[in-house]
Chains A and B, each alone.
Chain A
Amino acid sequence: DAGVIQSPRHEVTEMGQEVTLRCKPISGHNSLFWYRQTMMRGLELLIYFNNNVPIDDSGMPEDRFSAKMPNASFSTLKIQPSEPRDSAVYFCASSLQGLGNQPQHFGDGTRLSIL
Chain B
Amino acid sequence: EDKVVQSPLSLVVHEGDTVTLNCSYEVTNFRSLLWYKQEKKAPTFLFMLTSSGIEKKSGRLSSILDKKELFSILNITATQTGDSAVYLCAVGNNNDMRFGAGTRLTVKP
List the interface of chain A (C-beta within 8 A of B).
4, 33, 42-45, 48, 56, 58-59, 91, 98-109
A42 and B92 form a contact (CB under 8 A): no
Choose from A59, A100, A102, A109 the contact partner of B93 (Cβ within 8 Å): A100
A56 and B95 form a contact (CB under 8 A): yes
How many B residues, CB 8 Å from partner? 23
Choose from B48, B94, B96, B100 the contact partner of A42 (Cβ within 8 Å): B100
Q: Looking across the interface, which residue of chain B has its beta carbon closest to that of A111?
A: B41
CA distance A44 to B4 in the complex (A): 12
B97 and A45 form a contact (CB under 8 A): yes
Return B61 CB to nearest CB of chain A, in Å. Answer: 15
B95 and A42 form a contact (CB under 8 A): no
Choose from B41, B97, B101 the contact partner of A104 (Cβ within 8 Å): B97
B98 and A45 form a contact (CB under 8 A): yes
B88 within 8 A of A: yes
Interface centre among A99, A100, A104, A105 (most CB of B within 10 A): A100
- With A33-B97, A103-B48 in contact, is A43–B88 under 8 Å at CB? yes
Choose from B36, B42, B45 the contact partner of A107 (Cβ within 8 Å): B42
B45 and A105 form a contact (CB under 8 A): yes
Interface string of B66-90 (1 = CB under 8 A from A): 0000000000000000000000101
B51 within 8 A of A: no
Return B96 CB to nearest CB of chain A, in Å. Answer: 6
Interface string of B28-55 (1 = CB under 8 A from A): 0001101010000111110010000000
**22 A–B pairs (Cβ distance < 8 Å), ordered by A:** A42-B102, A43-B43, A43-B90, A58-B95, A91-B42, A98-B94, A99-B94, A99-B95, A100-B92, A100-B94, A100-B97, A103-B34, A104-B45, A104-B97, A105-B45, A106-B36, A106-B42, A106-B44, A107-B42, A108-B41, A108-B42, A109-B42
